[in-house]
Amino acid sequence: MTSPVLCPVRFEDGALRLLDQTRLPAEERWLSCRSAEEVADAIRRLAVRGAPAIGVAAAYGLALAMSSAAGDETPLERFERAAALLAATRPTAVNLGWAIDRAREAAVAHAADEPAAVASALIEVADAIVAEQRESDLRVAELGAELLEPGDRVLTHCNTGALATGGAGTAGGVIAAAWEAGRLAQVWVDETRPLLQGSRLTAWELTRAGIPFRIVTDASVGALMARGLVDRVVVGADRIAGNGDVANKIGTYTVAVLAARHGVPFYVAAPVSTIDRDAPSGDAIVIEERDADEVTHIGERPIAPAGAPAANFAFDVTPAELVAAIVTEAGVLRPPYRDSIARALTG
Ligand code: MRU
């Protein structure tokens, strides 16, 4: 949201405090992580989630690794062990590897220092990433809101607000800024199976922000568009390839295809840090596969026969040709994306 309603990732008194997103909306419970292992576990089970927030949590996790006992390891060896652990938690969110690489530069620069000094340098890196994310979220929100028109009914998928970035959010920030600017009538919130980031988290944020919304099942998108009830789609991204292909929460591709079918503009909002310089196209993006239990159960409750096999791809790739614009802090990127993305990365 444009003025952050909350910061779900905080470093306080030597611990990383995380608002446990697995418990929302029923309970606002904060976790305290004191080691890289605890942070890795929180990222893996989605207690902290959303590509930018995962990167921030990992950066603080690396600082925590410096203060845990490690035998005769050097600070750099200790750093690399924690970096490997954290990097493996969620393969699709590019901000994770990006934040780890930034932290590595500081760790290398302070390699000869005591672990406590390395930890301080890493906390500084993490704090800087948070500050930059907040800045870029505000710019994305401002630029994205300008793409909307008064009375727009906007559909979004997954959760992309403060919970996902620690700032105003990406698509969530665009939605909030558009609401404040009088350019939004209502939000359609895809529930976002299987973990319900839409109905649990986006609905929670929109309620707190006083923005009108209705939750719909993911399967409703086609019917909504066919009835002319959706004016724009705005979503976030976990990784954007150099040609503009976009990896985001599973179901985003379906929304994009339907949007194209019905002539509804499909926008992606993301910081430049979500662009993967090493992925020429979506084919190079690794898609996280998660436990089948997330599909066959809601929480602890089974919704399928015991032992029923299931596939749980956490993300999909929307081809660039379906994306009308990518809103970044470096500007609104338009096709051809190879050119506009290259300019955003160098500018
Ligand atoms: O599995 P999640 O909840 O981490 O997935 C999050 C998303 O897909 C978001 O759309 C994406 O990270 C962008 S958030 C600013």
Domain boundary among 104, 137, 170: 137
Task: Band the pLDDT of 33: cuts 50, 70, 90.
Answer: very high
Residue 67 has pLDDT above 60, yes or no: yes
110: left (phi over 0), alpha (psi -120 to 50) or beta: alpha
Examine the domain organization and report whether 129 and 144 are in the same domain: no
Please state, for a pLDDT cut of 70, what percent of the chain lies above it. Answer: 98
pLDDT value at residue 70: 67
Task: Band the pLDDT of 21: cuts 50, 70, 90.
Answer: very high
If one residue of 94, 159, 313, 323 were mutated to test the ligand 1 pocket, choosing by the most ligand atoms within 8 A of its CB, it would be: 159
Q: Is the CB of 158 under 6 A from ligand 1?
A: yes
Residue 107 has pLDDT above 70, yes or no: yes
Q: How many Cα atoms within 13 Å fall on the side-chain side of residue 225?
A: 23
Q: What is the pLDDT of residues 146-166, one digit of tens each?
A: 999 999 999 999 999 999 999
Supply the residue whose CA is at minimum distance from atom 15 of ligand 1. Answer: 160
Pair of tokens at residue 38:
């605890």
Q: How many CB atoms neighbour CB 199 within 10 A?
A: 19
pLDDT value at residue 12: 95
Residue 268 identity: V
Q: Give the whole-angstrom CA distance, residue 26 versus residue 10.
A: 21
Q: Tell me the CA–centroid distance for residue 28 and ligand 1, in Å.
A: 20
Number of separate domains in the chain: 2
Examine the domain organization and report whether 341 and 208 are in the same domain: yes
The DSSP result for 216-266, as a single string, is E-GGGHHHHHHTT--SEEEE--SEE-TTS-EEEETTHHHHHHHHHHTT--E
Examine the domain organization and report whether 171 and 253 are in the same domain: yes
Instruction: Taking residues 197-201, report their average pLDDT.
Output: 98
pLDDT value at residue 158: 98
Instruction: Taking residues 229-247, report their average pLDDT.
Output: 98
pLDDT value at residue 6: 77
Instruction: Taking residues 32-57, report their average pLDDT.
Output: 97
Q: Is the CB of 248 under 6 A from ligand 1?
A: yes
Q: Tell me the CA–centroid distance for residue 338 and ligand 1, in Å.
A: 23
Examine the domain organization and report whether 15 and 124 are in the same domain: yes
Q: Is the CB of 164 under 6 A from ligand 1?
A: yes
pLDDT value at residue 2: 42
Domain boundary among 137, 167, 182: 137
Examine the domain organization and report whether 11 and 85 are in the same domain: yes
Instruction: Taking residues 55-67, report their average pLDDT.
Output: 95
Residue 332 identity: V
The DSSP result for 142-204, as a single string, is HHHHTT--TTEEEEE-S--SHHHHSSS-SHHHHHHHHHHTT-EEEEEEE--TTTTIIIIIIHH
pLDDT value at residue 200: 98
Examine the domain organization and report whether 90 and 185 are in the same domain: no
Instruction: Taking residues 289-297, report their average pLDDT.
Output: 98
CATH number of the domain that residue 61 is part of: 1.20.120.420
- In angstroms, the Cα distances linking 276 to 14, 133, 213 are 32, 17, 32
Examine the domain organization and report whether 260 and 305 are in the same domain: yes
Counting from 1 in the atom list of ligand 1, the atom nearest the Cα of 235 is 10
Q: Tell me the CA–centroid distance for residue 158 and ligand 1, in Å.
A: 6
Instruction: Taking residues 4-33, report their average pLDDT.
Output: 93
- In angstroms, the Cα distances linking 207 to 171, 179, 218, 249, 342 are 16, 13, 20, 22, 38
Q: Which domain holds residue 96?
A: 4-137
Examine the domain organization and report whether 328 and 213 are in the same domain: yes
Residue 319 has pLDDT above 70, yes or no: yes
Instruction: Taking residues 101-113, report their average pLDDT.
Output: 95
Examine the domain organization and report whether 258 and 341 are in the same domain: yes
If one residue of 197, 204, 294 were mutated to test the ligand 1 pocket, choosing by the most ligand atoms within 8 A of its CB, it would be: 197
pLDDT value at residue 178: 98
Examine the domain organization and report whether 126 and 238 are in the same domain: no
> Structure pTM?
0.96
pLDDT value at residue 3: 46
Domain boundary among 137, 160, 180: 137
pLDDT value at residue 80: 96
Strands 30-33 and 331-333: unpaired
Residue 141 identity: A
Instruction: Taking residues 46-74, report their average pLDDT.
Output: 91
pLDDT value at residue 69: 58
Q: Is the CB of 238 under 6 A from ligand 1?
A: yes
**Which secondary-structure segment (H or E) carries 121?**
helix 115-145
CATH number of the domain that residue 188 is part of: 3.40.50.10470
Mean pLDDT (the chain) is 96
Residues labelled as active-site residues: 238
pLDDT value at residue 99: 96
Q: Is the CB of 273 under 6 A from ligand 1?
A: no
Residue 4 has pLDDT above 50, yes or no: no
Examine the domain organization and report whether 207 and 310 are in the same domain: yes
Q: Tell me the CA–centroid distance for residue 327 and ligand 1, in Å.
A: 16
Q: Are 46 and 21 in contact (CB under 8 A)?
A: yes
Examine the domain organization and report whether 114 and 180 are in the same domain: no
